[in-house]
Amino acid sequence: MRQEILVACYGDAMAGPAQKHVVIIGGGFGGLWAARALKRARCRITLIDRRNHHLFQPLLYQVATATLDPSDIAAPIRSITRKQYNLAVLLAEVTSVDVAAKKVSLSDGGELAYDYLIVATGATHSYFGKDHWARHAPGLKSLEDALDMRRRVLLAYEAAEAEPDPERRRAWLTFAIIGAGPTGVELAGALAEISRYSLRHDFRRIDPGEARVILIEGQPRVLPVFPEAQSEKARRQLEKIGVEVRTKVMVTDIDADGVTLAEAGREERLAARTVLWAAGVAASPLGKTLGAPLDRAGRVKVDPGLNLPGREDVFVIGDLVSLSVDGTPVPGVSPAAMQAGTHVALSIRRALDGRGDALHKFRYWNKGTFATIGRGAAVGDLMGRMQLSGFPAWLAWLGIHLFFLVGFRARLFVLFSWAYSYLSHRRGVRLITGQPLLPERRPAATQTSATQPPASSPLAPDPDRPAATPAPDQAAPRQIQS
């Protein structure tokens, strides 16, 4: 029945329809730009994604740090493509690709045939073989990740406010970010601003300004992809707003209580109840089903035209692709994905128009790289020809990100949120949502100090100590399990 519905709605490309069928897997930058470039092509397009929205990933960290609302950086794919009448959207998850049979298999057992296939499924977190770290150090790739990260960060301050033990309180007010690439640097800068400004007057028992934000990087400098001078400027700007930058430090273990570090042959234990992961990514597992050679990160090695070796009907773009142009690897950034999406769409249009299947070489135009550090602070490298830092780089970063946001509403709301945060030092979306992951602490019955929180504080008891049994006429302290 499912297969019949798919054929009825999206056609069966193997049944010989008048128009060729192009299947695009992934509604990110690469997939969406490819679909747009095929708007006037003589073909049918099916865009498949397991989520119903396109996500502007470069601003995910601002959702995680309570500056932006999720709807500000995401838009329904159906809404974006509603006027593209040769395109249908299918909410589904692709589990494998049969290149020989020219079919994709879906998680619910359905199949979809294609004439041309564009795979743009991106990347996910990589913990370098330590996948159990994910429970204690979440990464940032989706809206769910961002909301979980926001919840953990805001709950850490709530836990510190209710914690009577000074050592435990310090652990709750210590935030460790693993990885000092653009995401790690941006997270660290935003968390430092939250502690120094946004939450400054919101608590009574703690001073949020005493929070430690520690950025940990295994390489010798932050932002390794930037020129060395820009990396040093970024480091100085981070330290200026209170971030502790630690380079040449390796992480050997992560658990619920903190991080174990190795530096210069010695180990160190860092007590930090909030650890955030920004250190590595791994290619989507779908790439393994294409039958093409992979690199060490699981990315698919493609021909210069972004097609699978020996196949002119299957293309791979975005974070899933492994390709060097003039000796320089194409980076896994949104501009590269957008350019690749447009490139493969033009290649398909050449074939559809009968101009032959010869594929021209993809060339990535590096328009520049930016990383924001905080309010009025950023660094930027414009193709190695011009380097910006400080307020000018920050303004350029704002303009570039506003330009590439999808939709007028998103640009308007993001601009308003940024203006509010800049003028007021406040964060407008400080909401703790989802199932609270509340910390352990001593039960209320053991509290005697007048400065300790009341027995009704919604915190789970310390599992190492027995809970007090309330008297018959007393209500037990409210407990919420994680």
Q: Could you tell me if 98 and 182 lie in one domain?
A: no
pTM (2 decimals)? 0.82
Whether 24 maps to a domain, the answer reads yes
Q: Could you tell me if 103 and 237 lie in one domain?
A: no
Q: Could you tell me if 170 and 99 lie in one domain?
A: no
Q: Could you tell me if 146 and 256 lie in one domain?
A: yes
**Tokens at 274, concatenated:** 């909030």
Give the residue ranges of DSSP H helices in 17-104. 29-37, 60-64, 77-80
Are 214 and 176 in contact, with CB atoms under 8 Å apart? yes
Q: Of residues 24 and 373, which shows the higher confidence score?
A: 24
Q: What's the whole-number mean pLDDT along residues 192-202? A: 88
Determine the Cα–Cα distance for residues 172 and 23; give it in Å rounded to an integer: 48
Q: Could you tell me if 317 and 290 lie in one domain?
A: yes
pLDDT at 296: 84
Q: What percent of the chain has pLDDT over 90?
A: 52
Give per-residue pLDDT as tens, 270-308.
999 999 999 988 888 999 999 899 988 889 999 999 999
- CATH number for the domain that contains residue 119: 3.50.50.60
- CATH number for the domain that contains residue 187: 3.50.50.100
Q: Could you tell me if 208 and 318 lie in one domain?
A: no
- Contacts of residue 320, defined as CB under 8 A and 6 or more positions apart, other chains included, come to 119, 120, 121, 122, 123, 283, 284, 286, 287, 299, 300
Q: Could you tell me if 136 and 274 lie in one domain?
A: yes
Catalytic residue numbers, as ranges? 186
Decide which of 279, 304, 319 is a domain's last residue: 279
Decide which of 279, 297, 315 is a domain's last residue: 279
Domain that holds residue 251: 131-279
**Tokens at 75, concatenated:** 């838009």
Whether 330 maps to a domain, the answer reads yes
pLDDT at 43: 95
Determine the Cα–Cα distance for residues 153 and 158; give it in Å rounded to an integer: 9
- Contacts of residue 25, defined as CB under 8 A and 6 or more positions apart, other chains included, come to 31, 48, 49, 94, 104, 117, 118, 119, 120, 121, 286
Whether 152 maps to a domain, the answer reads yes
Whether 319 maps to a domain, the answer reads yes
Give per-residue pLDDT as tens, 132-142.
999 999 999 99
pLDDT at 106: 95
Counted domains in the chain:
2
DSSP string, 123-178: EEE--TT-GGGGGTS---SSHHHHHHHHHHHHHHHHHHHH---HHHHHHHTEEEEE
Whether 80 maps to a domain, the answer reads no
Comparing 74-83, 325-334, 382-391, the range with the smallest average pLDDT is 382-391
Decide which of 247, 262, 279 is a domain's last residue: 279
Are 46 and 38 in contact, with CB atoms under 8 Å apart? no
Whether 411 maps to a domain, the answer reads no
Whether 34 maps to a domain, the answer reads yes
DSSP string, 280-330: -EEE-GGGGGG-S-B-TTSPEE--TTSBPTT-SSEEE-GGGEE-EETTEEP
Q: Could you tell me if 135 and 267 lie in one domain?
A: yes
Q: Could you tell me if 6 and 30 lie in one domain?
A: yes
Q: Could you tell me if 264 and 332 lie in one domain?
A: no
Q: Could you tell me if 266 and 285 lie in one domain?
A: no
User: What's the whole-number average pLDDT of the chain?
Assistant: 83
- Contacts of residue 236, defined as CB under 8 A and 6 or more positions apart, other chains included, come to none
Q: What's the whole-number mean pLDDT along residues 216-228? A: 92
* Angular region, 258: left φ>0, alpha ψ -120 to 50, beta rest: left
pLDDT at 71: 86
No. of helices (H) and no. of strands (E), the chain:
11, 28
Whether 444 maps to a domain, the answer reads no
Q: Could you tell me if 178 and 311 lie in one domain?
A: no
